[in-house]
Amino acid sequence: MSRIRFFAALAAVIVLGVLTVGPASAEVRIDITRGQMKPLPIAIPDFAGFTAQESQIGKDISRVVSADLERSGLFKPVDPKAFIQTVASLQVQPRFPDWKAINAEALVQGKVESTGDGRVKVEFRLWDVFAEAYMTGWTLSAAPQDWRRLSHKVADAIYKRITGEDGYFDTQIVYIAESGPKNDRKKRLAIMDQDGEGHRFLTDGSELVLTPRFSPSSREITYLSYFKGVPRVYVFNLDTGRREALGNFPGMTFAPRFSPDGNKVIFSMAEDGNTEIYEMNLLTRQKARLTNNPAIDTAPSYAPDGSQLVFESDRGGGQQIYVMASNGANPNRISFGDGRYATPVWSPRGDLIAFTKQKGGQFFIGVMRPDGSGERLLAEGFLVEGPTWAPNGRVLSFFREAPSDERGRGQSVRLYTIDLTGFNERVLLTPLDGSDPAWSPLIP
């Protein structure tokens, strides 16, 4: 947020204005709790600009906003070729009949203006075409090269106003980029925007790395690295590019995740054939063991309020999901369906736990409530694994691996996204194969 200053007063006035206008039921609105639905037609003309630079940024913003909204599966951007009103004329006043005629239910109007200090001011407004009413809008100032983030913020604002849910477009995904044959796989830590743009590698592939996860600030990543052949948990700082071992432990440390306040990392340590869950306080460097059981206890994940942990354990015979207090008290099994349950991840909303399930030779991505009820399977495959939540708890990412023959042919590992309803499954394109995705919180 440091580089982007809100014109808060303007925004506040506009919001108050809207609140006094007509009843909410007349509004264009998407109820995203329903299953598959018809996506909402929305017109997103180029943001207007006077200079060549302003116009270019305006075009780029419109393109990225359209792509974000389209990918959500909830919106259908109207083909610009159908537009009747021109961008220039739109800046004076939306001519609603022109937009009704092409069945656009919502209209986005935007403008890019250089402010003389090397920055640009981006203004956007969202209109309800059939009610002929203003819905939301703001003006932000940013460095011109930050136009992508501005675009995602526009998309987030539209998504929020129309669905009533927080957006998830101004976010990043960290994952493991994979290449090479199955028996000599090169794995690199990589990061990108949620739409696949701004991709970069964070490690060079000289060491095996696995299971990256964001800190709540999105500026740090905890992951497993086999640096110098020793599997240990590390923390990578995106601002400094430095990485640091979490600590010195007698056994292999793995399966790390940050606590919701960012002050702790929770992880597993395997020692003498026994895997237990530990927490490490990053401020005091104190560690504590949270499980005490000869079984495999791993894959811990915090509830968003930090009070509880969900993890997997085979203490009952097979892999199952358990919930316990964050100090390790009162572990309770919550998964009781057929098959094995693994990799539980608590939703940022707190209402659901996503997991990987194995049953009948297939893998599944599913969700259940924290008490184990309401199990729903969203995706299936030869191997699907490692769900991660978008920060609004409405969309998940995971990876899917294809089987290979005895010469390794057919091998493929890709990232996917899917709506919580189980619809709108999409490949998330990456330069190489990809696995172990982790979705960031909304970027501050």
Look at residues 442, 334, 345, 340 and name the one whose alpha carbon lies nearest to residue 396: 345
**72 touches another protein by CB under 8 A:** no
**252 touches another protein by CB under 8 A:** yes
**424 touches another protein by CB under 8 A:** no
**266 touches another protein by CB under 8 A:** no
Binding test (CB under 8 A) with another protein, winner from 12, 230, 427, 429 = 230
What's the distance, CA 250 to chain centroid?
34
Three-state DSSP state, 383: strand
Q: Which stretch binds another protein (CB under 8 A): 38-46, 90-98, 148-156, 249-257?
A: 249-257
Report the site for another protein in 294-313 (rule: CB under 8 A). 296, 298-299, 312
CB of 391 to another protein, least distance (A): 23
Binding test (CB under 8 A) with another protein, winner from 4, 21, 133, 210 = 210
CB nearer another protein, residue 40 or residue 354:
354
The dihedrals phi and psi of 363, each to the nearest 5 degrees, come to -110, 150
Angle between helices 147-163 and 52-71 (to 10 degrees): 40
Distance between CA atoms of 199 and 186, rounded to whole angstroms? 18
| CA separation, residue 338 to residues 296, 319, 320, 432 (Å) | 20, 11, 10, 35
Residue 72 identity (one-letter amino acid):
S
Distance between CA atoms of 375 and 141, rounded to whole angstroms? 45
CB nearer another protein, residue 255 or residue 323:
255
**275 touches another protein by CB under 8 A:** yes
Binding test (CB under 8 A) with another protein, winner from 242, 272, 285, 373 = 272
Q: Which stretch binds another protein (CB under 8 A): 109-117, 121-129, 193-201, 208-216?
A: 208-216
Neighbours of 402 (CB within 10 A): 12
CB of 438 to another protein, least distance (A): 13
Binding test (CB under 8 A) with another protein, winner from 408, 412, 423, 444 = 408
Distance between CA atoms of 132 and 220, rounded to whole angstroms? 45
CB of 324 to another protein, least distance (A): 17
Q: Which stretch binds another protein (CB under 8 A): 27-35, 70-78, 110-118, 408-416?
A: 408-416
Distance between CA atoms of 273 and 254, rounded to whole angstroms? 14
The dihedrals phi and psi of 242, each to the nearest 5 degrees, come to -90, 150
**284 touches another protein by CB under 8 A:** no
CB nearer another protein, residue 140 or residue 209:
209
Residue 381 identity (one-letter amino acid):
G
Report the site for another protein in 356-385 (rule: CB under 8 A). 356, 358, 382-383, 385
CB of 281 to another protein, least distance (A): 22
Q: Kind and range of the H or E element at 130? A: none
CB of 37 to another protein, least distance (A): 33
Binding test (CB under 8 A) with another protein, winner from 116, 118, 229, 250 = 229
CB nearer another protein, residue 12 or residue 402:
402
Q: Which stretch binds another protein (CB under 8 A): 35-43, 301-309, 404-412, 414-422?
A: 404-412
355-375: b (≥16 Cβ within 10 Å) or e: bbbbeeeebbbbbbebebeeb
CB nearer another protein, residue 238 or residue 270:
270
Binding test (CB under 8 A) with another protein, winner from 85, 268, 301, 392 = 268
Binding test (CB under 8 A) with another protein, winner from 35, 116, 241, 273 = 273
Distance between CA atoms of 374 and 335, rounded to whole angstroms? 11
Report the site for another protein in 7-66 (rule: CB under 8 A). none
**433 touches another protein by CB under 8 A:** no
**407 touches another protein by CB under 8 A:** yes
Distance between CA atoms of 191 and 17, rounded to whole angstroms? 40
222-261: b (≥16 Cβ within 10 Å) or e: bbbbebeeebbbbbbebeeeebeebeebebbbbbbbbbbe
Q: How many C-alpha atoms does 22 have within 13 Å on its Cβ side? A: 12
**182 touches another protein by CB under 8 A:** yes
Distance between CA atoms of 338 and 25, rounded to whole angstroms? 43
Classify residue 78 by its DSSP letter: P
Q: Which stretch binds another protein (CB under 8 A): 64-72, 85-93, 203-211, 214-222?
A: 203-211
Q: Residues in the site for another protein, rule: CB under 8 A?
A: 181-185, 187, 208, 210-211, 224, 229-231, 251-252, 254-255, 268, 270, 272-275, 296, 298-299, 312, 314, 319, 342-343, 356, 358, 382-383, 385-386, 401, 403-408, 410-411, 436
